[in-house]
């Protein structure tokens, strides 16, 4: 087994199960989370550090999985205080390409290496190790990270130079945002027309309009349980990333406006399919 020591920063809804998969695979692992309680169940098998500096100094490859540009900048400001020579940073966050390039350049100056490796999939694929991982960066760095990425996802796709992983992630979430709003509108329409919701969702999922995206949200729609696997506010962040990257397109602009209104009306912390509750207010 490769003896490189792994570090994982960010044990949120996605990061926690991803780090657990690295732990289960038997790799030497250390973890850090700002809220230390989320790291408690790593203490038996892995090392839990109380500071980012300790984790970086005791790791060869460091995975980061945080919420947004501000969180990534904060984490890497602390990372950049350490000796990064020869270390590889695998940022799996969904952040702007501009921020990612800024972080990559800063790591490079300190003689470290950096790849962007955001993921497609929510908490269930994260736990099952069946994410799709979209990677941008130098081939040698991707090859170095590959044995570990393969424990996190069912497919690792190297798309080219740094930033290309994020380009693909922003694009796929742009599409998903439309799917979820379309699914919510369709369910509301069928509700209004008197079709049993379970029947309608079965028809959707068994027809050409069904997909992994519709199937994974079906239980939430049937149970009226919108506990966030992927919060609406996170989807809103990703639609804005697409807009800022140049997606000045009709459906995207309309979608952005709807998600912004849903967030302002208090639905941002619900799962993204909770957009149905905002839409319901207007019918």
- Ramachandran region, residue 80 (left: φ > 0; alpha: ψ -120 to 50; beta: rest): alpha
- Which pLDDT value is given to residue 283? 61
Confidence of residue 3 (pLDDT cuts 50, 70, 90): confident
State if pTM tops 0.85. yes
| Contact criterion met (CB below 8 Å) for 163 and 101 | yes
Residue 124 is among the residues annotated as catalytic for this protein = no
- SS3 readout for 152-192: CEEEEEEEECCCHHHHHHHHHHHHHHHHHHHHHHHHHHHHH
Note the pLDDT tens digit of each residue in 192-218: 999 999 999 999 999 999 999 999 999
Pairing of strands 119-120, 131-136: antiparallel
Whether residue 7 has pLDDT greater than 90: yes
Of 20, 38, 87, 169, the catalytic one is: 169
- The Cα–Cα gap between 59 and 62 comes to 7
SS3 readout for 123-156: HHHHHHCCEEEEEECCHHHHHHHHHHHCCCEEEE
Average pLDDT (163-181) is: 97
Mean pLDDT within 171-192:
97
Confidence of residue 2 (pLDDT cuts 50, 70, 90): low
Q: Are 236 and 223 in contact (CB under 8 A)?
A: no
| 23, containing H or E segment | helix 15-24
Average pLDDT over residues 133-152: 98
Dist. CA 102–CA 183, nearest whole Å:
37
* Domains of the chain as residue ranges with CATH: 6-160 (3.40.50.720), 168-280 (1.10.1040.10)
């Amino acid at each position: 087994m490769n003896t490189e020591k792994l570090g994982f920063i960010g044990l949120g809804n996605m990061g926690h199960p991803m780090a657990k998969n690295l732990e289960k695979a038997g790799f030497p692992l250390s973890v850090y989370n700002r809220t230390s309680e989320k790291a408690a169940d790593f203490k038996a098998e892995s090392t839990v550090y109380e500071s980012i500096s300790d984790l970086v100094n005791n790791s060869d490859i460091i995975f980061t999985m945080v919420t947004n540009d501000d969180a990534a900048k904060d984490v890497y400001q602390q990372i950049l205080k350490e000796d990064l020579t020869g270390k590889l940073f695998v940022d799996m966050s969904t952040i702007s390409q501009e921020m990612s390039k800024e972080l990559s350049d800063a790591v490079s100056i300190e003689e470290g290496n950096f790849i962007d490796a955001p993921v497609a999939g929510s908490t269930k694929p994260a736990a099952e190790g069946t994410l799709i991982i979209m990677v941008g960066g130098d081939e040698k760095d991707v090859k170095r990270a590959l044995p570990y990425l393969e424990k996190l996802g069912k497919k690792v796709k190297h798309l080219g130079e740094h930033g290309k992983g994020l380009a693909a992630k922003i694009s796929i979430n742009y599409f998903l945002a439309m799917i979820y709003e379309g699914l919510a509108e369709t369910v509301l329409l069928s509700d209004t027309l008197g079709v049993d919701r379970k029947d309608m969702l079965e028809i959707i999922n068994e027809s050409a309009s069904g997909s992994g995206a519709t199937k994974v949200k079906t239980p939430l729609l049937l149970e009226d349980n919108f506990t966030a696997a992927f919060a609406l506010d996170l989807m809103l962040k990703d639609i804005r990333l697409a807009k800022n990257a140049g997606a000045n397109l009709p459906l995207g602009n309309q979608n952005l406006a709807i998600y912004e209104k849903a967030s302002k009306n208090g639905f941002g912390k619900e799962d993204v399919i909770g957009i149905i509750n905002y839409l319901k207010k207007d019918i």
